[in-house]
Amino acid sequence: MAALALTLATRDYDYVQPLALRDIVPDGIELTLIRAFDALERFLADPAIEAGEASFSQYLRRVAAGDRSFVALPAFVMREFRHRCLFVRVDSGLTGVSQLAGRRVGVDGWAATGNVWTRAILREAGVPLDGIRWMVGPADLGDRPTSAEGLPAHVAVAPPGRALGEMVAAGDLDAMMAPWPPREFGASGSSLTRLYRDYRTAEREYYRRTRIFPGQHLVVLRRPLVDRHPWVVRHLYNAVVRARERSEANHRVLHESSPWVLADLEEQTALMGADFRPYGYRDRENREMVAAFCAEQFAQGLIATPLDPDTLFADFLALTDSRTSG
């Protein structure tokens, strides 16, 4: 039987490269891999791409709204701590999220997965989100326009022609959150700095408290593909797991890309264990992370009613259960 042709779109992570190089070949699948920074947008825009990287927040809110057009794999291809994603003026005197209560804070996408996790840090510190004067806008001029759809009453839209980075630099905002630093941050003599100068220590303390390594993006398949070929869920999942394992094994042996990568890996293992970003869902720490994110979506008003985290991966679990799948 001929292999099933399947296109998967992701960003160019090192742990998907074994799939692109065909070091790992999914059983029964002739895989074409699109590796591009705009993979999420390409996947959503092109029905011919039947598998792709997707926003965890967007997927969750689709499911909460009754949209089951995607089947998700518990393969979080992007994970990131978020203390590093808060920026303030150098002379602000601000050094922690508890000081943001009642302040003016910019955000580059209200419902974006990473910003939901960042606001969770504020909530954990006891900061009332509705007491902050929020402003949604682009981190830098020229960035993709920010959606103003469904914003809460206490969230405003940045004025036309203004960007969050320059508004913080000008003193028109006290802080901002975004996944990558605004351009002003990297400029010579910049007036911007991170809220957590030593974000590595802050993130490690967060992990010790919560045991959560926040998932940002995951792999999903279009439901018509799964309806036609339900076995593809198991086979593609197994392949992305093997690709990640191969890549991480290489990290330990071929670590010369930076002088202290090996030290980082050893410290990371001591804190988080050897499998620090596990794929999978049942009986794994991922379920606690997913449950925490579902709770945040409800607490922050992004979904109307609480969502059972098991709902998000019900299809995956049913289709990969050895008792029900071939």
Q: For residue 1, what pLDDT is reported?
A: 67
Q: For residue 186, what pLDDT is reported?
A: 86
Summary mean pLDDT of the chain:
94
Non-local CB neighbours of 221 within 8 Å, separated by 6+ positions:
50, 51, 70, 71, 73, 232, 233, 236
Q: What's the CATH number for 4-78+215-320?
A: 3.40.190.10
Please list, residue by residue across 298-321, b when 16 or more beta carbons sit within 10 angstroms of its beta carbon and e when fewer do: eebebbeeebebeebbebbeebbe
Distance of CA 58 to the CA centre of its chain: 11
Q: For residue 326, what pLDDT is reported?
A: 38
Pair of tokens at residue 42: 């390409």
Distance of CA 258 to the CA centre of its chain: 24
Distance of CA 313 to the CA centre of its chain: 17
Nearest to 169 by CA among 193, 200, 145: 193
- For residue 273, is pLDDT > 60? yes
Residues 115, 177 contacting (CB under 8 angstroms): yes
Q: For residue 283, what pLDDT is reported?
A: 62
pLDDT in tens, 93-111: 999 999 999 999 999 999 9
Q: Which fold has domain 83-210?
A: D-Maltodextrin-Binding Protein; domain 2 (3.40.190)
The answer to whether the predicted template modeling score (pTM) of the entire model surpasses 0.75 is yes
4-78+215-320 shares its CATH topology with 83-210: yes
Q: Where are the domains of the chain?
A: 4-78+215-320, 83-210
Amino acid (1-letter code) at residue 288: E
pLDDT in tens, 204-262: 999 999 999 999 999 999 999 999 999 999 999 999 999 999 998 888 888 777 888 88
Q: For residue 323, what pLDDT is reported?
A: 38
Q: For residue 99, what pLDDT is reported?
A: 98
- For residue 24, is pLDDT > 70? yes
Q: For residue 321, what pLDDT is reported?
A: 80
Q: How far apart are CA 49 and CA 248, in angstroms?
A: 27
